[in-house]
Amino acid sequence: MTDSDPSDISQASRRALCHRCLLPRLNCYCAALVPQQSRASWIFLQHPREARHPVGTARMAHLSLPGSHLFEGVDFSANARLRSLIEAASNPVVLFPAEGAKALEALSCEAAPPTLIVLDGTWSQARKLWKLNPFLHGLPAYRLTPRQPSRYRVRAEPAAHCVSTIEAVAAALQILDCGVDRDREAMLAPFLDLVDRQANFGERPDRSPRRRFRDRPKSRSLPDLLQRVRSDALFIHVESNGFPKRMRDRPPGELVQLAAQRLRDGATFDALTWPRHRGPHFQELGLSPEAEASASSNDDLRARFAAFEQPRDVWAIWGRFPLDLMRGAGIVVPDERAVLDLKHACANLLARNPGTLEHASDELGIGEVPTHLTRRADQKLWRMARVFDRLTRG
């Protein structure tokens, strides 16, 4: 038996997951959870992307509330178990600030204990869950007005009234369980500790290089490129056959859809191609059966895109992943130094990792996507154009 390298042990401990909270055992908070008894019943609907966030709080709230239920997905219309739980509930309501939502304080203490359905995700993800699950629209909607700002300091909330899921649940418990003297801080202690550890993680000398975002030198050429591009920007969005990261033997990412819009003349490009593996991400693309039937081969997509491009075009993308997918499809990609990464530009402007395009849009004060844009690709291109406009205006 040989001695192990301490660094190997450290790396192994980080990789080992707790099967309850699904976090690395190094960050497991299960022992610190304080179970909360509630007269209300709780159902959490969590967007899959939020489930992978290191400080996602819906699971923490779920584990703190015995008898609660947590569902992960986007479209729950065919989830028989969820529908049966809602149908069996005596007073089901949705905690979401939909149009016409009432204040949560309006629920009377003397009324039947409610079943609260909580939508979990970033605000753009929560809005998507609301939009894609119209069966929830028939239930009463309630909004929460927090009494203090969010303490979720590792993630910027889009507005002062926005808080994390567990903060919202803790505040709701104070309202719903009338007369109960509840230790709200005890419920939030694991959350606050995890936030502190996540915030301090960036200062560790042994952290993964992939997390050293703030240490990267800001590109000096980026502002010049932004100004030089002006009307020559070609916004490009791609979709892949997404598979869950936790999936065993996960197939490699392959390009499924390529959409582009030229700022100069408004010309658009849109093409679908079938990958070798068709993943669950298809349900999020908002494609009609007719659009799916129009999918072509990779060769045809490459030829059509080459004919669409113009010499003056400067590619504008969100992150570097689109370039990897396009290379994988055999598309000739320009030198990365000549490609405008809008995510990088937002990072320079906000002085932090902007996260998703939707989250960055919220940060920059960009409004709601027009309702007539139902396809995911069209919504992405719309947001990219508005982010670009915000960046070029300074």
Residues 344, 114: Cα–Cα separation, whole Å:
45
- Residues 190, 223: one domain? no
In a domain, 93, yes or no: yes
**Quick check: helix, strand or coil at residue 393?**
helix
Q: Which amino acid is at 350?
A: L
CA 343 – CA 319 distance, rounded (Å): 6
What count of other Cβ atoms lies within 10 Å of the Cβ of residue 199? 12
Query: What's the pLDDT score for residue 70?
Result: 94
3 assigned to some structural domain:
no
pLDDT recorded at residue 318 = 94
Domain boundary among 173, 200, 227: 200
Looking at the structure, tell me whether residues 172 and 222 fall in a common domain. no
Task: For 263-368, list the strands marked E by DSSP.
Answer: 268-272, 314-317, 340-341
Return the closest-CA partner of residue 222 out of 341, 133, 126: 341
303, 194: one domain: no
* Domain identity same for 167 and 228: no
SS3 label, residue 96: coil
The domain in which residue 360 lies consists of: 216-393
**Digit-coded pLDDT (tens) for 171-228:** 888 888 766 656 677 888 888 887 777 666 554 445 544 444 444 434 434 556 666 6
Residue 5 lies in a domain: no
Nearest to residue 71, comparing CAs of 50, 93, 97, 92?
Answer: 50
Mean pLDDT of the chain: 79
Domain stops at, among 150, 167, 200: 200
CATH number at residue 314: 3.30.420.10
Residues 279 and 338 in one domain: yes
In this structure, of 77-91, 156-170, 217-231, 314-328, the range with the lowest mean pLDDT score is 217-231
Give the count of domains, the chain. Answer: 2
- 235 and 192 in a single domain? The answer is no
Neighbours of 144 (CB within 10 A): 21
Q: Per the domain annotation, does 389 fall within a domain?
A: yes
pTM of the model: 0.54
| pLDDT score, position 124 | 79
Beta strands in the chain (DSSP E): 41-46, 69-72, 92-95, 102-103, 115-120, 141-143, 233-240, 255-262, 268-272, 314-317, 340-341
236-288 per-position pLDDT tens digit: 999 887 666 666 776 677 888 899 999 999 999 999 887 776 655 555 555 66
* Whether residue 231 sits in one domain with residue 189: no
